[in-house]
Amino acid sequence: HKLLEQAEMCEPPLKVKVLSPLSSLLGEKLQTSDIKDLSEEDLLGRRKIDTDLSSIAGYITGKRVLVTGAGGSIGSELCRQLHHFKPERLVMLDRDESALHSVQLSIETRALLDTPDLVLADIRDASRIRSVFAEVRPQVVFHAAALKHLTLLEANPAEAIKSNVWGTQTVLDAAQAVGVETFVNVSTDKAASPQCVLGYSKRVAERLTAHAAATAPVGTYVSVRFGNVLGSRGSVLTTFRKQIAEGVPLTVTDPNVTRFFMLIEEAVQLVIQAGAVGQPGEVLVLDMGEPVRIADVAQTLIRRSGRQLDIEYTGLRPGEKLHEDLLGAEEHDSRPSHPLITQAHVPPLAPVAAAAVNVEGERPVLIEELAQLCLAPSLSAVLFHHGAAGAIGPRSISSLPLRTTDPKQSVSAAVELVVAGSESPDSLHGTAHTP
Would you name the residues annotated as active-site residues? 190
User: Angle at the Cα of 322 (from 318 to 327), degrees rounded to 5?
Assistant: 105
The 8-class DSSP code of residue 377 comes to P
> Which H helix or E strand runs over 177?
helix 168-177
Cis previous bond, 318, omega within 30: no
Task: For residue 208, give every residue at least 6 positions away whose Cβ sits within 8 Å of its Cβ, in sequence order, or none.
Answer: 165, 168, 169, 172, 348, 349, 351, 354
What's the CA gap between 183 and 66, in Å, rounded? 10
Neighbours of 387 (CB within 10 A): 11
Name which of 208, 236, 391 is nearest 311 in CA terms. 236
What's the CA gap between 165 and 191, in Å, rounded? 13
Within 332-409, strands assigned E span: 341-345
* Exposed / middle / buried, residue 55 (Cβ in 10 Å: 0-12, 13-18, 19+): exposed
What's the CA gap between 115 and 131, in Å, rounded? 17
